[in-house]
Structure 1
Amino acid sequence: MTTTLITGANKGIGFETAKQLLAAGHDVWIGARDVTRGEAAARELGGRSVQLDVTDDASVAAAAETVGALDVLINNAGVPGPLPTAFELDPEPMRPMFEVNLFGLVRVTKAFLPRLEKSARPVIVNVTSGLGSLHLATDPESIASSFTPFAYGAAKAGVNMLTVQYAKALPAFRINCVDPGFTATDFNRHQGTQTVAEGAEAVVRLAQVGPEGPTGGFFDRAGVVPW
């Protein structure tokens, strides 16, 4: 059985991804910062819960010991962060969001790499955003070009680059990033135009790739996303 860990999985796209992968036969660990919410989600879905705060070294290390052997890591935990104007942009308000969205991904990946390395089919899926695509941000035909999410866009662009570098450094792994799209969750106050099932679709697909599958790529529901 494939063992999968999903960070930030007690709600939203993470929760739906866990639901779909459990239905596909995965043994899923629900990673959640809040123990009570994580346990409630695991009970509802039939998965297992583990306390995991991606910003805390001790929490991540303890989670790695609890989970043990692992085949698939889905770095899903994320926060929207501030939306300053160009004149308001300042490093300090950006730091907490970078700690979750970018540095948290590195912290979790580092802790679980030794376990993933022992898997016959190691997979990492990094949940990113089209707002981190330089191509889309500069394409007048793309809706992403009409927004200026300075901090969030920069963090997700960092996730995209990390994904490429991890894939090059770990050729035996399948490592990709996925843009769920504009999905109705707490993350955007349920203003998204997609259902969570639609938002989780590409994450679930990339979580199940085999050794012959893509690596170092950027995908959404429709297929390949330009960098």
Structure 2
Amino acid sequence: MTNPDSAPAPTLPSSSPIAVVTGASSGIGAATARRLAAEGFHVVAAARRVDRLEKLASEIGATPFPLDVTDDTSVAALAEAVPECAVLVNNAGGALGLDPVAEADLGHWQRMFDVNVLGSVRVTKALLPAMLRYGRGHVVNITSIAGHLVYEGGAGYAAAKHAQHAVTETLRLELNGQPVRITEIAPGMVKTEEFSLIRFDGDAERAEATYRGVAAPLVAEDIADCVAFAVTRPAHVDVDLMVIKPIAQAAPHKVHRTV
């Protein structure tokens, strides 16, 4: 990753509201960046893979920013570069493994908590002052239905997403009276190029089996639509929680498959 301290802070336009999207190099993050740009936001597309960010930025007129949400220095550099912020989409996250608790890989658990939970807290804490300087703000946390339900083999991811859900609900209570809206978007099965591939450590066959026989899993653009809906409501409207699943999925562990 490019060292944020070695790069000059980008110059952001003053005519458009700023939306920061973490984990913007692929999947839901990239789709959300594209959709918010189409909605009139100037997007700061933040992630570790700068080459992908630069390609995305050139397509949609965004500002790419190298970001590791688990690193205090990296997040501080982002906050310094974004003096005013209208929307923050905490999308950086992910799942690792599908082990039962008795065989838990604690390194995987640690990484999931560091990125999904502490990463969201770190970036939110850093950018809240920028929202207040702007005069209003909107924090959108991309969680999961695993933050509300559990399934065998998913304890580590579910625990992290339950924690992220708790942080979201608490933040709304703590910011009551401030001009900052808080939204949680909890997707079910979303087929993206990398989510399951990363979860299963690059095992393409196992990753593809996740979606086998499912006629129409969600795609990243479905979640981007939900983000756009929430952040474009009138300023007095706060969409607290959106749970989105494909019609084939009733719960994390109950999915209709044709084969």
- Structure 2: 5+ residue runs without aligned partners? 1-15, 198-207, 212-216, 246-259
Structure 1 residue 67 displacement after superposition: 2.1
Change (3 A) 1:32 1:93: closer
1:20 maps to: 35
What is the alpha-carbon distance in structure 2 between the residues aligned to residue 93 and residue 194 of structure 1? 25
What is the alpha-carbon distance in structure 1 between the residues aligned to residue 228 and residue 110 of structure 2? 30
Structure 1 residue 90 displacement after superposition: 5.0
Instruction: Give the partner amino acid of 1:177.
Output: E
Q: Does residue 96 of structure 1 match 2:111?
A: yes
Structure 1 residue 166 displacement after superposition: 0.5
What is the alpha-carbon distance in structure 2 between the residues aligned to residue 198 and residue 105 of structure 1? 22
Root-mean-square deviation (CA, aligned residues, Å) is 1.8
Q: Secondary structure at the match of 1:154?
A: helix
Instruction: Give the partner amino acid of 2:69.
Output: V
Q: Does residue 150 of structure 1 match 2:150?
A: no
What is the alpha-carbon distance in structure 2 between the residues aligned to residue 182 and residue 119 of structure 1? 35
Q: Secondary structure at the match of 2:164?
A: helix
Answer whether contact 1:201 1:221 (CA < 8 A) is retained.
no
Using the size of structure 2 for normalisation, the TM-score is 0.76
Q: Does residue 220 of structure 1 match 2:257?
A: no
The structure with the larger Rg is 2
Structure 1 residue 221 displacement after superposition: 4.2
What is the alpha-carbon distance in structure 2 between the residues aligned to residue 65 and residue 165 of structure 1? 26
What is the alpha-carbon distance in structure 1 between the residues aligned to residue 46 and residue 109 of structure 2? 24
Alignment of 1:42-53 (within 5 A): 42-53=57-68
1:141 maps to: none
Q: Deviations over 1:45-99 (max 9, x none)?
A: 2211111110111111111111221110000001212321121125343111111
1:57 maps to: 72
- Structure 1: 5+ residue runs without aligned partners? 138-144, 223-227
Structure 1 residue 150 displacement after superposition: 0.6
Q: Which runs of 4+ in 1 moved over 3 A?
A: 90-93, 189-192
What is the alpha-carbon distance in structure 2 between the residues aligned to residue 92 and residue 70 of structure 1? 34
What is the alpha-carbon distance in structure 1 between the residues aligned to residue 47 and residue 161 of structure 2? 21
Using the size of structure 1 for normalisation, the TM-score is 0.86
2:225 to 197, 201, 210: 201
2:196 maps to: 188
